């Protein structure tokens, strides 16, 4: 799917303080940059998950290890860390370490509950599960991850809960990610599962139908979608009589109107071609590891990555329309990249 200037104009209605007349005029250029980025992300993730397809044997199964061990392999090797920060982060942005200047290499700096704190790798593995597990009800029949990548979250949920009565559904754009998930669950012969091609930008929700009670979630996937389509939440809530819908996404900064405007404005200005790359926000910004810079850092990371800007407004609209109630909310709960903290928001259909 390619976005049109009208799609941008509609998306920007969530940001009343922008110069709408200007961005309507510049919309064709902004949208061209947006479309280019979507294609680039698609190619990158296909390659990333393809690095695990070698684990799949001739029978189409990732076998020879228990589910927990297989999921740990799918977590990846973890990147080299120096002074508490992954090297890949320190290489690409200037960081003022402040009080974290003397962190030993065996410790990592995380974002935790809105602050920068030291921790260990186990926190990373537990970060999503501690929020998600309580949402699995006895009556839940299917759990669906949208933008599931290689399916490690679904695999970990099965390994940790032992819920073999649930159908596990991976919805993902990249064929390689879907193949790895199929291989992972094929080894669990008594567990129903499906791997379904899915694109947030033209979502086909047919695969979510046929159940009375479902749990749908995303993890670091909506971050990749600058503007979700306006009807996504209500469309998901409509597919079953009972729906729990959860998001673990780096969107905490979106709750501050002035910061949200700043990011949306930066996105439009930088993609419009009117601002030279040397004057992009990221070219002049230093990330300070201080708690009072937490939100500015997260918003700057989102702007630089062209990350999602409208999940929080869409959740708010669903609440206002009383189609859902909020069942949990943990702003800036965890970031293994401290500058990209995930918030957990969950809704239940009314």
Ligand X SMILES: C[S@@+](CC[C@H](N)C(=O)[O-])C[C@H]1O[C@@H](n2cnc3c(N)ncnc32)[C@H](O)[C@@H]1O
Residues near ligand X (CB under 6 A): 41, 45, 147-149, 152-153, 172-174, 177, 198-201, 219-221, 224-225
* Cβ proximity to ligand X, 75 vs 105, nearer residue: 75
* Cβ proximity to ligand X, 199 vs 291, nearer residue: 199
Least spacing, CB of residue 140 vs ligand X, in Å: 19
> Helix or strand or coil: residue 144?
strand
Least spacing, CB of residue 278 vs ligand X, in Å: 28
Q: How many CB atoms lie within 10 A of CB 185?
A: 24
* Cβ proximity to ligand X, 147 vs 313, nearer residue: 147
The single-letter DSSP state of residue 252 is G
d(CA 315, CA 81): 36
* Cβ proximity to ligand X, 252 vs 262, nearer residue: 252
- In sequence order, which ranges of 101-256 are alpha helices (DSSP H)? 121-132, 152-161, 175-186, 232-237
* Cβ proximity to ligand X, 3 vs 198, nearer residue: 198
Residue nearest to ligand X (CB): 149
Structural Rg of the chain based on CA atoms: 20
User: Considering only CA atoms, which of 152, 148, 141 is closest in space to residue 198?
Assistant: 148
d(CA 257, CA 279): 24
Element holding 304 (H helix, E strand): helix 294-305
* Cβ proximity to ligand X, 249 vs 265, nearer residue: 249
Least spacing, CB of residue 41 vs ligand X, in Å: 5
Least spacing, CB of residue 19 vs ligand X, in Å: 28
Q: Are 79 and 87 in contact (CB under 8 A)?
A: yes
Q: Are 71 and 52 in contact (CB under 8 A)?
A: no
Least spacing, CB of residue 4 vs ligand X, in Å: 16
Least spacing, CB of residue 82 vs ligand X, in Å: 23
User: Considering only CA atoms, which of 76, 67, 78, 47 is closest in space to residue 183?
Assistant: 67
């Amino acid at each position: 799917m390619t976005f049109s200037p009208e799609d941008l104009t509609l998306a920007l209605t969530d940001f009343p303080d922008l110069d709408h007349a200007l961005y309507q005029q510049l919309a064709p250029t902004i949208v061209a940059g947006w479309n280019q980025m979507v294609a680039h992300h698609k190619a990158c993730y296909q390659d990333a998950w393809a690095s695990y397809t070698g684990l799949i044997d001739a029978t189409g199964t990732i076998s020879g290890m228990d589910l927990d061990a297989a999921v740990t392999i799918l977590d990846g090797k973890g990147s080299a860390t120096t002074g508490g920060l992954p090297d890949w982060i320190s290489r690409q942005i200037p960081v003022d370490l402040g009080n974290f200047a003397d962190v030993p290499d065996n410790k990592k700096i995380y974002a935790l509950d809105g602050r920068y704190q030291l921790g260990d790798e186990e926190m990373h593995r537990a970060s999503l599960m501690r929020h998600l597990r309580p949402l699995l009800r006895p009556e839940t029949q299917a759990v669906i991850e949208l933008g599931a990548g290689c399916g490690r979250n679904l695999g970990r949920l099965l390994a940790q809960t032992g819920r073999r009565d649930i159908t596990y559904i991976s919805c993902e754009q990249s064929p390689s990610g879907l193949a790895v998930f199929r291989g992972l669950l094929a080894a669990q012969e008594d567990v129903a599962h499906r791997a379904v091609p899915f694109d947030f930008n033209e979502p086909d929700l047919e695969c979510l139908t046929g159940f009375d009670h479902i749990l749908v979630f995303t993890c670091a996937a909506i971050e990749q979608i600058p503007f979700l389509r306006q009807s996504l939440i209500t469309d998901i809530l409509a597919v079953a009589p009972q729906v729990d819908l959860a998001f673990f996404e780096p969107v905490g900064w979106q709750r501050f109107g002035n910061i949200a405007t700043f990011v949306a404005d930066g996105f439009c200005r930088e993609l419009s071609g009117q601002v030279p790359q040397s004057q992009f926000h990221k070219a002049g910004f230093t990330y300070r590891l201080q708690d009072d810079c937490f939100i500015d850092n997260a918003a700057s990371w989102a702007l630089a990555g062209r990350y999602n800007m409208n999940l929080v407004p869409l959740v708010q609209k669903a609440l206002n329309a009383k189609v859902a109630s909020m069942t949990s909310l943990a702003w800036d709960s965890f970031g293994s990249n401290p500058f990209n903290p995930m918030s957990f928001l969950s809704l239940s259909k009314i």
